Chain A
Amino acid sequence: DIQMTQSPSLLSASVGDRVTLSCKASQNIYKYLNWYQQKLGEAPKLLIYYTNSLQTGIPSRFSGSGSGTDYTLTISSLQPEDVATYFCQQYNSWPTFGAGTKLELK
């Protein structure tokens, strides 16, 4: 199966910061990559699909990019409500997930 590696595992940032989260696949996944946000005690929420398409209702401060094996989720200006764990997920073969990046406020 395709392994997904996220970095960093923990990220501390301040309100207003530009934040970048990384996700690396063990092989080319041809942009078949989604991002989810999970807040404590809640279900995961789809943020970005097919690398850079914003899910309906998601704020435009979230964006995605990447190709091949390397992908990025960017939050342009961090808000307090963005504190959560973020997961990437590929679907070039059966779905596999990264282990998440926990984002906290500095």
Chain B
Amino acid sequence: EIQLQESGPGLVKPSQSLSLTCSVTGYTITSGYDWSWIRKFPGNKMEWMGYISYSGSTNYNPSLKSRISITRDTSKNQFFLQLNSVTTEDTATYYCARWEYSSYISYFDYWGQGVMVTVSS
């Protein structure tokens, strides 16, 4: 069974960087698919942040492009989110998810449980 699990600090200070890890079991992230980060703000609005593909290429939400980096460690079957210069507006629950994308079909089919991150001094 494919499982994704987020981990990382639950509290980050303003202006610092937010760093999260997504550990994947049951599927090798270099075998296929794109591996995304998605966040849900208080009030339920969700935002796709970006992905790293099975080949290692990345694509980011234009609204975050200057602050975001998604990388991976294939030896550990993990991928990572770094978001720089955070503000209180970045307080959210962060999810990692597998993104199926082919022809006219595209969806997030496996998700982690999410990790809540609060930005506060």
Contacts and interface: CB of A to CB of B under 8 A. Distances in A.
Interface residues of A, number: 24
B44 A85 contact: yes
B54 interface: no
Q: Number of contact residues on B: which range applies? A: 20 to 34
A50 B101 CA distance: 12
A85 B93 CA distance: 15
Interface in B56-103: 59, 61-63, 95, 101
A95 B48 contact: yes
A96 interface: yes
B31 interface: no
A53 B105 CA distance: 10
Interface of B: 43-48, 59, 61-63, 95, 101, 104-109, 111-114
